[in-house]
Structure 1
Amino acid sequence: MAHFTVIGLGRFGVAASLELIYLGHTVTGVDRDSKIAEQYVEDLTQSVICDATDEHSLRELDLAASDAVLVAIGEDLESSLLCILALKNLGVKEIWVKASSKAHHTIVSKLGVTRIIHPEEEMGIRIAQALNYPMVHNYLSIGHGLYVVDIQVKSALHNQPVSALLHDTQGVVDAILVKRGRQTFTQLSHDFVLQEHDTFLLCGSREALKLIAPRLV
């Protein structure tokens, strides 16, 4: 279990906070609006009224003890930057920042934060991918042009071996695992037989995964 601090309890900050709570972590939510902070007193581990642009106020929260601080102040560029500078001065090492524009991203990137997030853009890409490849339940970029995709096996592949799907992409697309009910199979040969409703994880480049996409329908 880790402890996180989320600064800015708008829709994005609240969604991130509640998911972290659901995953078993503790979360301190921070907002300068007393009504908003009080609204989530029962939902978060701690909900604090604080002006995050004021370093002296932030100092009282012992933020350096957090495993990470998420700055979810998206629209107010000045407040976001002042908050980041205050966090740096307080010795916070792990700082994640929501950026609302390219200008915001450009400035924040000069401040040495851990990660910059573009939630609307990232979600837009995910929705486009889902619309383009409805058989792909989820996907994750792991860098260097590689993606892990989560596929729900359809009737067309029922009782088919893995080789029927990957026959011309050997060494390019890797079969990682199959989840079948409560069973998980990780040692997958090309003779492994898929069943309808299996969850199938594959790893490969976008081009290689696009090549096999028509076989998944």
Structure 2
Amino acid sequence: MSQFAVIGLGRFGLAASIELMRLGNSVIGVDSDSKLVNTVSEQLTVAAIADATDESSLKELDIGSCDAVLVAIGESLEASILCVLLLKSLNVKEIWVKATTKPHHIILTKLGVSRIIHPEEEIGVRVAQSLNYPMMNQYMSIGNGLFIVEVEIKSHHPDMSVKKLLGKAGKDIEPMLVRRNSTIIKHLDGDFQLAVKDSLILSGSLTALKKIAPEFYAK
């Protein structure tokens, strides 16, 4: 179990906090809004009413011992930046920050945080991808133009082999595994027979995955 702190419990920060808890981690949630903190107090390991720009408050909560801290302060650029500076002074190694504007992003880059997040933009991209390729449920970039995607088999075809469904583009795509109900099936070959409602996990370049998307959609 890892210990995280989430500073700023708005919709984004709270959603991240609850998911971290669901994944079996310990979460310290911090916000200056007492009403908000009291509302979520039973959902987190610790929910604290505190000023994230006050070093003594962060020290009292032992934020410096956390494995990672997510700064999800959305309304005040100044508060977000000051909080990051304090986390740096507390030697927090892993700092993820929600950025709200381009200047905010630039400043965070200069501060050397671990990751800068643009929730609205990232969700917008994922929604556009889902609209464009509705047969693909999940996307994950693994760097260097490579992606992992999940494709759901929604209808029966005469030949349900992996090789047939991937078509000519299959030579540039690696079938990784199939999720069939609660069972994970690994070590797939081209002759493996898929079933309706199977989830096929594939990896490959974005170009190759784009080529197969219409083929799945047309079947």
Q: TM-score, normalised by structure 2?
A: 0.95
* Other structure's SS at 2:208 match: helix
Residues in 2 aligned to 1:105 and 1:9: alpha-carbon distance in whole angstroms: 20
Question: Residue type matched to 2:8 in 1?
Answer: G
Aligned to 1:178: 178
Residues in 1 aligned to 2:85 and 2:91: alpha-carbon distance in whole angstroms: 10
After superposing the two structures, state which structure 1 stretch, 188-197 or 53-62, moved more: 53-62
Residues in 1 aligned to 2:71 and 2:61: alpha-carbon distance in whole angstroms: 14
Question: Residue type matched to 2:149 in 1?
Answer: V
Aligned to 1:192: 192
Deviations 1:9-59 (A, max 9, x none): 111011111111111111110011222222211111111111111112211
Residues in 1 aligned to 2:119 and 2:25: alpha-carbon distance in whole angstroms: 21
Aligned to 2:160: 160
Residues in 1 aligned to 2:189 and 2:50: alpha-carbon distance in whole angstroms: 56
| 1:33 and 2:44 matched | no
| 1:94 and 2:94 matched | yes
Aligned to 1:11: 11
* Other structure's SS at 2:64 match: helix
Call closer, same or farther: CA 1:87–1:27 in 2, change over 3 Å. Answer: same
Residues in 1 aligned to 2:101 and 2:158: alpha-carbon distance in whole angstroms: 45
* Deviation of 1:75 (Å): 2.6
* Deviation of 1:156 (Å): 4.8
| 1:215 and 2:199 matched | no
Aligned to 1:53: 53
Question: Residue type matched to 1:25 in 2?
Answer: N
Aligned to 1:146: 146
Call closer, same or farther: CA 1:157–1:60 in 2, change over 3 Å. Answer: farther
Deviations 1:111-157 (A, max 9, x none): 11111111000000010011111101111011100111111012154
Aligned to 1:126: 126
User: Would you tell me which structure has more helix in proportion to its own residues?
Assistant: 2
Residues in 1 aligned to 2:135 and 2:17: alpha-carbon distance in whole angstroms: 30
* Other structure's SS at 2:134 match: coil
Please, what is the CA RMSD of the aligned residues?
1.3
| 1:81 and 2:63 matched | no
* Deviation of 1:102 (Å): 1.4
Structure 2 unaligned regions, length at least 5: none
Question: Residue type matched to 1:94 in 2?
Answer: E
Aligned to 1:106: 106
Aligned to 2:71: 71
**Is the 1:158–1:194 Cα contact (8 Å) retained in structure 2?**
no
Call closer, same or farther: CA 1:34–1:164 in 2, change over 3 Å. Answer: same
Give structure 1 regions of 4+ aligned residues with deviation exceeding 6 angstroms.
Answer: none
* Deviation of 1:170 (Å): 4.2
* Other structure's SS at 1:40 match: helix
Aligned to 2:116: 116
Residues in 1 aligned to 2:100 and 2:130: alpha-carbon distance in whole angstroms: 23
Residues in 1 aligned to 2:62 and 2:7: alpha-carbon distance in whole angstroms: 13
Question: Residue type matched to 1:127 in 2?
Answer: V
Instruction: Tell me the number of residue pairs that the alignment of Structure 1 and Structure 2 aligns.
Output: 217
* Deviation of 1:182 (Å): 2.6
Residues in 2 aligned to 1:183 and 1:16: alpha-carbon distance in whole angstroms: 28
Structure 1 unaligned regions, length at least 5: none
After superposing the two structures, state which structure 1 stretch, 200-209 or 164-173, moved more: 164-173
